[in-house]
Chains A and B, each alone.
Chain A
Amino acid sequence: MKLSLGPILYYWPHQKVADFYQQAIQSPADIIYLGETICSKRQELRTPDWLELAAALLESGKEVVLSTLALIEARSELSSLRKICDNSGCLIEANDIAAVELLSEKKLPFVAGTSINIYNAHTLQILHKAGLQRWVMPVELNRTTLKNILSDAQKMGFLDKIETEIFSYGRLPLAYSARCFTARAKGLQKDDCQLRCIDYPDGIPLHTQENQSLFTINGIQTQSGQIYNLLDEYSAMAEIGVDIMRVSPKSTGTFEVLEQFSQAILGETISAQLIASDVKNNEYCNGYWFGQPGMDTA
């Protein structure tokens, strides 16, 4: 089992990003994903900066993957995507079919991120033929479906040619919109958003009128309110054939979490309770993995 550090889903200042990846080099993560996946207006780091950072990280000996935008609407967004696909020098995570198209035309391998809809082995095989070498399972799928997909892939004869990665820790990516909910919360138009996302390094919490944590607003993305945490499922995942567990960055505690995942993989007994200690009331959810509503805790 390998450990990955997912792309930063929030908008952090350039220096914070640079410091974060300096720490990442020292962390137990085997694979580092980086790049802007949410909003093309976030330009603390521009495409050349991400490419440069990726090149620097490659020298550290870590596997480096450049993640790309999930919702591509504007022509300018397509041209940035083309730039990344042309120049990266490292593996790319496709989060929209546009990236799959561009990379498959170039015969380059790719990772399919959580927002590529792979719900069965037939789809997985089609994308494998197009160049997929790793997939991150859509977050709403459960362990039984995963087991069945992988066993179908084995029957179809391509299981050993792909890797499977599971989003295992962090706020779940749940939805993408053309609208910006951060701008809406601040009473601003999207075009005049003043890049306010930068004030919210972990997004903006959204609660019900009964003060129950429900979602997290992150610009055009809606995330889960609670932290998804599958640390306890490490052995079950290994048994099913999962290759990589992903930890999704938050503004504090990410490297402690990676450390604890790493210890669990090395055989230490670590409880998911412990890992959630920096989260309010130790709350976390894991429902999706067990075939329940995502916000449930099994």
Chain B
Amino acid sequence: MELICPAGSLPALKAAVDNGADAVYIGFKDDTNARHFAGLNFNDRKAVKALEYVRAHNVKLFVAINTYPQPHSWSRWKDAVDQAAGLQADALIIADMGVLDYARERYPDLNLHLSVQGSATNIDALAFYKKTFGIKRAVLPRVLSMAQVKQVAAHSPVDLEVFGFGSLCIMAEGRCHLSSYVTPESPNTCGACSPASAVRWEETEKGRESRLNDVLIDRFSEGENTGYPTLCKGRFQVEGQTYNALEEPTSLNTLQLIPQLDEIGVKAIKIEGRQRSPAYVEQVVRVWREALDNYKKTGSNFTPRGEWLDALANVSEGSQTTLGAYSRPWQ
């Protein structure tokens, strides 16, 4: 299985390449990608440098153009496709049908991957994207159980890539508007969820409060671990109870599922985190590379080493990891 690693900057890209990525995915410095955060991503010059670095190390470069253009901004997405094609990127990761169509018509030789933001969770949806746009691969949303991934993999008309590690969206990606309901930005339109510009922290008598566009997302007592106020991870009131009504702040870690994912025919594992530091990328990629290499030798006898799990737990959001929807403890 290929290891697909995130890079929000040139140092992160180098860390990914140096530690064993098979492919690195990047985005341009605007709202055409789903990690449109200040100080992140690649301008023209940096993108060329990124390309030189991956080529020198025989690693692939994928470009994510995975948000949804509206009429007033359509040309920006077109430009992004042109730029990625100009770089001769190994694949473009796209969500919007209009953008997929443009890329296919204009650059028929380009490899197109359906982004997780395209929200294809079943074989019929995948068949539509293959038939209409000739996609070669799809990244599956993080809502499917292991049995369901297996089912899709057995009949999928295209190669499949799944998330292995990182932040965990509990909503079907590409179909979540929680962020734009509360703030001016959403993943689909702007490439941002619960944007930092809308976040406010306040020390109050009741505790440390996190707000998103003035809406209270969470309140922490002294000594409690504070987390970024992502909307779905707040503590809210439902029928008189205050709790993480949608999701607890945990990270996805599927190291122990490597043999199963390989056996069912998954072609690539994706590490989330273009918004994370080069140190994070280095740590996570190193562990996953070691684990995948070890699996190649040990096969079905593979078991994750304690030191790997510790290393990954150290960089995880909320310092807790979960198998997410793959194992569904809540099922």
- Known interface pairs A74-B148, A75-B151, A204-B239; A172-B181 also in contact (CB < 8 Å): yes
- Known interface pairs A74-B148, A78-B123, A212-B215; A97-B128 also in contact (CB < 8 Å): yes
Binds B, one of A24-32, A173-181, A257-265: A173-181
A234 to B266, CA, bound (A): 49
Tell me how far the C-beta of A98 lies from the nearest C-beta in chain B, rounded to whole angstroms: 4
Task: Determine whether the beta carbon of A181 is less than 8 Å from that of B245.
Answer: yes
A126 to B188, CA, bound (A): 19
Tell me how far the C-beta of B214 lies from the nearest C-beta in chain A, rounded to whole angstroms: 9
Which residues does chain A contribute within 8 Å of B123, judged by CB atoms?
78
Task: Determine whether the beta carbon of A130 is less than 8 Å from that of B132.
Answer: yes
Say whether B246 faces chain A, with CB atoms less than 8 Å apart: yes
Say whether B48 faces chain A, with CB atoms less than 8 Å apart: no
- Known interface pairs A209-B235, A293-B184; A174-B176 also in contact (CB < 8 Å): yes
Chain A, Cβ-Cβ closest to B74: A120
Say whether B19 faces chain A, with CB atoms less than 8 Å apart: no
Say whether A190 faces chain B, with CB atoms less than 8 Å apart: yes
Binds B, one of A11-19, A138-146, A157-165: A138-146
Say whether A184 faces chain B, with CB atoms less than 8 Å apart: yes
A218 to B144, CA, bound (A): 19
Within 8 A of B (CB), among A177-231: 177-181, 183-185, 189-191, 204-212, 214-215, 217, 222, 224
Which residues does chain A contribute within 8 Å of B178, judged by CB atoms?
174-175, 215, 222
Task: Determine whether the beta carbon of B97 is less than 8 Å from that of A127.
Answer: yes
Task: Determine whether the beta carbon of A122 is less than 8 Å from that of B95.
Answer: no
- Known interface pairs A70-B175, A181-B246, A217-B245; A145-B71 also in contact (CB < 8 Å): yes
Map CB proximity to A onto B114-138 as digits: 1 under 8 Å, 0 otherwise.
Answer: 0000011111110111011000000
Which residues does chain B contribute within 8 Å of A172, judged by CB atoms?
177, 181
Task: Determine whether the beta carbon of A177 is less than 8 Å from that of B97.
Answer: no
Binds B, one of A54-62, A100-108, A267-275: A100-108
A214 to B174, CA, bound (A): 21
Chain B, Cβ-Cβ closest to A208: B216
Say whether A84 faces chain B, with CB atoms less than 8 Å apart: no
Task: Determine whether the beta carbon of A72 is less than 8 Å from that of B122.
Answer: yes
Task: Determine whether the beta carbon of A294 is less than 8 Å from that of B98.
Answer: no
Give the interface size class of chain A. Answer: 35 or more
Within 8 A of B (CB), among A75-134: 75, 77-78, 81, 96-102, 104, 115, 117, 119-123, 125-127, 130
- Known interface pairs A185-B245, A217-B245; A140-B177 also in contact (CB < 8 Å): yes
Say whether B293 faces chain A, with CB atoms less than 8 Å apart: no
Which residues does chain A contribute within 8 Å of B98, judged by CB atoms?
119-123, 125-126
Tell me how far the C-beta of B329 lies from the nearest C-beta in chain A, rounded to whole angstroms: 9
Which residues does chain B contribute within 8 Å of A71, judged by CB atoms?
121, 143, 172, 175
Say whether A148 faces chain B, with CB atoms less than 8 Å apart: yes
Which residues does chain B contribute within 8 Å of A191, judged by CB atoms?
331
Task: Determine whether the beta carbon of A206 is less than 8 Å from that of B245.
Answer: yes
Listed A/B pairs (16) with beta-carbon separation below 8 Å: A73-B143, A115-B175, A119-B188, A120-B68, A140-B180, A151-B71, A175-B178, A184-B330, A185-B239, A190-B328, A207-B238, A208-B216, A208-B236, A222-B171, A288-B180, A294-B180
- Name A's B-contacting residues (CB within 8 A): 70-75, 77-78, 81, 96-102, 104, 115, 117, 119-123, 125-127, 130, 138-141, 144-145, 148-149, 151-152, 172, 174-181, 183-185, 189-191, 204-212, 214-215, 217, 222, 224, 288, 292-295
Give 8 closest A-B pairs by Cβ, nearest first: A122-B98, A148-B71, A178-B143, A98-B124, A119-B68, A101-B128, A97-B125, A294-B181
